[in-house]
Amino acid sequence: MPTNRKPNIEMSAFKARGVENPSYEDPKEKQKPDLEMSKTNGIGVDNPSYYKNPEKYLGNENEEGKSNNEDEEEEEDQGAVERCVDKFYGGIHNFYKRNKKIIHYTFLGLLLVGYFALVIAACIVNFKQSLALLVLTLIAIFFFFWDLFIAKYGDNIAEALKPCQKFLDNHWSIIRWFVYGALLLAVILWLTLDTAKRGANQVIPFFGLIMYILLVFIFSKHPTKVRWRIVIWGLLLQFIFGLIILRTKPGLDAFNWLGIQVQTFLKYTDAGSRFIFGDNFEDHFFAFAVLPIVIFFSTVMSMMYYLGLMQWLILKVGWLMQITMGTSPMESMVSAGNIFVGQTESPLLIRPYLADLTISEMHSVMSCGFATIAGSVLGAYISLGIPAAHLLTASVMSAPAALAISKTFWPETKKSKNSTQTSIKLEKGQENNLLEAASQGASAAVPLVANIAANLIAFLAVLAFINATLSWLGSMFNYPQFSFEIICSYVLMPFAFMMGVNYNDSFLVAELLGMKTFFNEFVAYQRLSEYIHYRESGGPLFVDGVRQYMSVRSEAIATYALCGFANFGSLGIMIGGLSSLAPHRKHDIASCGIRALIAGTIACFTTACIAGVLYIPELYCPNLLMSTLFENGTTENTTNLMSCCTDLFKSTTMLAPKNITFTEGFNTTMLNGCCAFFPSGFNCSEVRPE
């Protein structure tokens, strides 16, 4: 048996502490003197950071001969300076926070004082040049105070007018017949007096307008549910806008001035195009001069959206249509938005409400998109040579027309979840600053430019192929000139004629309508611009029996009829865009598509009809004499004919029967024609027929 040994307590303690506990430190070792510790006076044990930076504690001198203690003093001095600076700026920051509103209002007040001083000084120095700035300033002041007034007293005014509203609601079934009768009488008197003064051209588009309304009503989804208030007010707003712009001198001058300013503004795109594509960029006019305008215009629109100007304009126009036509806030807002933005951007204004729209409201949203064009492509059409004033007028007039036609074609049968009291708030852009907004707008236009270019290449190629095929088929019947344009000219000619287009021009306008519907409006406007340029260049009216251009009035009416996205290509874009915003409404969106396309097309036609009633082209006597007097052998307006013939007689100098000089574009053919009508106005016996 093993002998019992006395356990070694010291060894056991060592095992327990030293082996089993590695952190154990032998007390005997701890008692040994440590040279390093003696040098540092125990700093190495008490302060472990010593081992990382011993120089800090040993007081060694740095490279510049300064001790670290001196560095610490400098750091303390520097820290004191920083604290003083921080305290100073902190005081400024606190002062700004306490007086933020006062500082902002003071700064804005100084800016306004400076601006008004600038306007007054400009008016004193050159009032004619400063008139536009003065008018814009007065308009801005009016709307500023109007908004303040409505915000403060709007509820009180509404409360005061409640008895009147209640009276009208209770007796509207009787009062409306007096209102409608007065409107009808006013229209009849207008047409009678206007026709007596200007000829029968204004009567045909009026009956064309009635025809389009009846067609929409006959093929309406629910004819018995049509709310005629929307229809009448939509057409009335259309007529009022057109009357102000096309018949009053201030309105006409204002929109002509605006059109000139827009054209001048868009010309600044040439600076960027010239830098990128070189001085000869106009050699490829459409690619390098027209398409860059889309980018520039998109940039400007994005900046206006960031500043809140676009939202303000949309809300004002939408409010006007809502209170007059009685449409829902969603429909009114989209219709107003389509004046400025495109068919896929305007639904974003009401994105939170899309899921709750009734099917009639969804149809209206789509119809408004088809009846108008986007502001970004407006500049491109202007650059083609289409009159800017007509394009701007058409954009404004088609907004209420789209609502009137769409609510007739697909009336409301359900109660809208979005009542007339719904308040829509449009947020500003999400960009951090104005430069980012400009950059975002330019980038967003790149896909649009690519899409326009690709579609034009594809559609023009398809059109050429279709025409070649039709010509091949026509040659079998000795009619090789058979083409897509000829088919459209005969099929759509009645629609063009009922807009007020001259009979001989209606075939050309019908071709444009077919191109716009089956291809896109860019193709149609491109062809219209060719007609305009050919007329302005003074080319012959007929070449090989084919008409080469149309009258100025027909060009204007065609501009209004083409001003919309109503084509089959846009139908796919509209359905895809809305379906992505409201995925669970895909079936409703698809079911509205074709009807909305037709409604948008007819809305453009009604705008063209009203333009045909109201538009009076500037009297250019050579065109009048050639296009009306000698082409048809008769004239529809003897007042204008007499005026032009009088101008012709005054501008003609006869030295001998064969030695006659003319000015202002007149010729011997015109002189012979005027002599046939007014032989006493000139020494016509000396004029020899050609």
Please write the tens of the pLDDT for every residue from 419-464: 655 556 666 667 788 899 899 888 988 888 888 888 888 888 988 9
Average pLDDT score over residue span 476-484: 89
DSSP-based three-state secondary structure for 61: strand
Of the given ranges (78-87, 200-209, 258-267, 637-646), which has the lowest mean pLDDT?
A: 637-646
At 84, the pLDDT band (50, 70, 90 cuts) reads: confident
Distance between CA 402 and CA 368 in Å, rounded?
A: 5
Q: How confident is the model at residue 68 (pLDDT cuts 50, 70, 90)?
A: low
Separation CA 171–CA 163 (nearest Å): 12
Q: List the single range of 80-84, 289-293, 403-407, 559-563 with lowest mean pLDDT.
A: 80-84
| Residue with the two structure tokens 């929307």 | 230
Q: Which amino acid is at 285?
A: F
Find which of 197-201, 332-336, 634-638 is predicted with most confidence, using mean pLDDT.
332-336
Confidence band of 205 (pLDDT split at 50, 70, 90): very high
pLDDT at res. 156: 85
Q: Return the SS3 of 275.
A: helix
| Per-residue model confidence (pLDDT) at position 7 | 45
Q: How large is the average pLDDT for residues 569-577?
A: 85
As a three-state string, the secondary structure of 95-132 is: HHHHCHHHHHHHHHHHHHHHHHHHHHHHHHHCHHHHHH
- Which of 58-72, 132-146, 597-611 has the largest mean confidence? 597-611
> Residues 490-504: what's their mean pLDDT?
92
pLDDT, tens digit, 9 for 90 and up, residues 130-144: 888 898 899 889 988
Q: Which of 513, 346, 379 is nearest to 449 (CA)?
A: 379
Smallest CA-to-CA distance from 391 within 377, 404, 405 is with 377
Integer angstrom CA distances of residue 661 from 356, 457, 664: 72, 48, 11
State the average pLDDT over residues 375-379: 80
Distance CA 390, CA 186 (A): 26
- Asked whether the predicted pLDDT for residue 367 surpasses 80, the reply is yes
Q: Are 448 and 577 in contact (CB under 8 A)?
A: no
Average pLDDT, the chain: 80
When pLDDT is averaged across residues 411-418 and rounded to a whole number, the result is: 82
* CA distances, 335 to each of 78, 217, 222, 396 (Å): 64, 21, 22, 10
pLDDT of residue 470: 93
Cα dist from 560 to 76, 375, 384, 398, 508, whole Å: 78, 15, 15, 9, 15
Is 50 exceeded by the pLDDT of residue 328? yes
Identify which has the larger pLDDT, 606 or 251: 606
Rounded CA separation 568/171 (Å): 45
For residue 458, what pLDDT is reported?
Answer: 87
Specify the pLDDT at position 598: 95
| 8-state DSSP, 569 | H
Distance between CA atoms of residues 281 and 271, nearest Å: 11
The residue to which tokens 């606190």 are assigned: 94
Residues 6+ apart with CB under 8 A from 367: 402, 403, 405, 406, 409, 596, 599, 600, 603
The pTM (predicted TM-score) of the whole model is 0.74
CA dihedral 516, 286, 456, 469 (to 10 degrees): 90
Helical spans, DSSP H, in 219-267: 228-246, 249-266
User: Which of residues 562 and 85 earns the better pLDDT score?
Assistant: 562
Q: What is the 3-state secondary structure (H, E, C) of 298-359?
A: HHHHHHHHHHCHHHHHHHHHHHHHHHHHCCCHHHHHHHHHCCCCCCCCHHHHHHHHHHHCCH
663 pLDDT above the threshold of 80? no
pLDDT of residue 465: 94
**Burial category of 361 from C-beta neighbours within 10 Å (exposed 0-12, middle 13-18, buried 19 and up):** buried
E strand or H helix that includes residue 542: strand 542-543
Residue-wise pLDDT tens digits, 290-314: 888 888 888 888 888 888 888 888 8
DSSP state of 611: H
- Give pLDDT, residue 16: 42
Q: What is the DSSP letter of 424?
A: P
- Does residue 180 contact residue 232 with C-beta atoms inside 8 Å? yes
Q: What is the pLDDT of residue 211?
A: 95
600 Cα distance to chain centroid: 17
307/440 Cα distance (integer angstroms): 14
The predicted pLDDT at position 175 comes to 85
User: Do 566 and 516 form a contact (C-beta atoms < 8 A)?
Assistant: yes
